[in-house]
Structure 1
């Protein structure tokens, strides 16, 4: 599949009519995809666990930040490669600020700018708001042209009344991210409906609590807990991490190293509140 070229106003209008940069949650379609942009590092398409759709991430740094957002219990929507529309607004801000507006390399027509992530957050008080995030490697902030474009982003979101910030690799908690990446790799595996049934999960959690022993590896605990349940060894491992992702099981991702072959402290969340749990069937 070739990259889309949005060189003319008709190209942009056609892209908008196709739904790009529109929708929320599962219906959202990013303005840019991994096919459209050369990336620094490994671009990838990732299926989210918060939202049942594929996310287009253009660098390792975007992927690392996405993991934090996808795992966060406060992030309820993730819209990546979000367009700053209408283009007249960014052109107006560029003129006022005496900044050259980004343009298409061939046609020299104005380029639709994008922000890496537009998040919808619901905090612990129940307040819902949007927040824009630009993901940049620290070294790129030394480039004056990059800083000019970031300033246009800042002005755009200020005009929209939406908080905006720059995220660099230096501000990311890499230990937590590596743990989330490990959990994500196990939790994203599809499980049959009978395995994810409330009855099986309840029995599995009870057996995990019974066999929880910090002297044993996580793999051994899961094996012992699933011995008399309708689970294969592999299904039990994946179900454990489904339960971690859904907060049925609590692990300190900030200080622990999460691996099956290690001893990993965990506790069972006995709360029955559906407000604080993700739906396992969406995983």
Structure 2
């Protein structure tokens, strides 16, 4: 039987290290894992981030929710996802605490944390978040691996937090469920650029008007089927052409709440992430 493309190997790890994975910061950071490196059940996301001006690799809806929360926090200055832990350290921690270290096919795995966050908060300038579905925490083996991770960051004297869907704003989760099914890689760049420019001007001229009412007005003015404009807005939001405080219900947003992205950087990142 052919070996799975997802199977670990020392050769693969050495190649990733040479590529610079898990290194850098801001726009230059390369995550240890990408959505192409792990089996997908359709819940992974490649999302452009306005703070770091690059595409982030998110492996679950919970990670997406946490990421979008961090994106809007004014004190957050850098978000590094899928951050690798030094394997030498996790092996020692596992051995000293009688925990079986994660391995596969005889290869000791590199563990990773979902987010390493840099903040302007002097009380907590750097911290780590691991995002898990609450149902996964029923698995004792998951707890063992989390304990290795927790002890690793305690050794580094960096705060570590475990977050589940219950810790995320329900409104944010609703917004994600409404917007991100329209997240597609095959939408033409020209469409995104043109529509972003068009709606940016419309929102500027109607900054105090509800976005939903703006869209209804456009549909009526141009004799479009009901919902045409709101659908285009959803497409633009899913592709990160605009961003907003995702903890706020979409139907309560007004024109000035939607902030246009730097389209040059966005389009460039789309091309890089699709290679």
For the aligned residues, what is the CA RMSD?
4.1
Contact 2:21-2:31 at 8 Å conserved across structures: yes
Contact 2:35-2:46 at 8 Å conserved across structures: no
Give the drift of 1:110: 1.7
Deviations 1:170-227 (A, max 9, x none): 111121233367678999996659x769xx96x76663247x379x824246789xxx
1:178 counterpart = 2:174:
yes
Higher helix share: 2
Tell me which residue corresponds to 1:61: 62
**Can you give the 5+ residue segments of structure 2 that lack an aligned partner in the other structure?**
221-228, 267-275
Deviations 1:110-155 (A, max 9, x none): 21111112122234x7x77222111111122122111111011001
Change in CA separation of 1:88 and 1:133 when aligned onto 2, cut-off 3 Å: same
Give 3-state SS (helix, strand or coil) of 1:217's partner: helix
Q: TM-score, normalised by structure 2?
A: 0.69
Q: Which has the higher contact order (CA 8 A, sep 6+)?
A: 2
The correspondence of residues 257-276 of structure 1 with structure 2, limited to 5 A, is 258-259=250-251, 264=252, 266=254, 268=256
Contact 1:78-1:118 at 8 Å conserved across structures: yes
Tell me which residue corresponds to 2:91: 91
Tell me which residue corresponds to 2:48: 48
Give the drift of 1:33: 1.9
**Can you give the 5+ residue segments of structure 1 that lack an aligned partner in the other structure?**
225-232, 270-276
Tell me which residue corresponds to 1:169: 165
1:37 counterpart = 2:38:
yes
The correspondence of residues 1-283 of structure 1 with structure 2, limited to 5 A, is 3=5, 5-8=7-10, 10-39=11-40, 41-50=41-50, 51-85=52-86, 87-104=87-104, 106-107=105-106, 109-123=107-121, 129-179=125-175, 192=193, 207-209=205-207, 212=209, 217-220=213-216, 245=243, 254=247, 256=249, 258-259=250-251, 264=252, 266=254, 268=256, 282-283=265-266
Deviations 1:83-126 (A, max 9, x none): 101x111111112222111112x12x321111112122234x7x
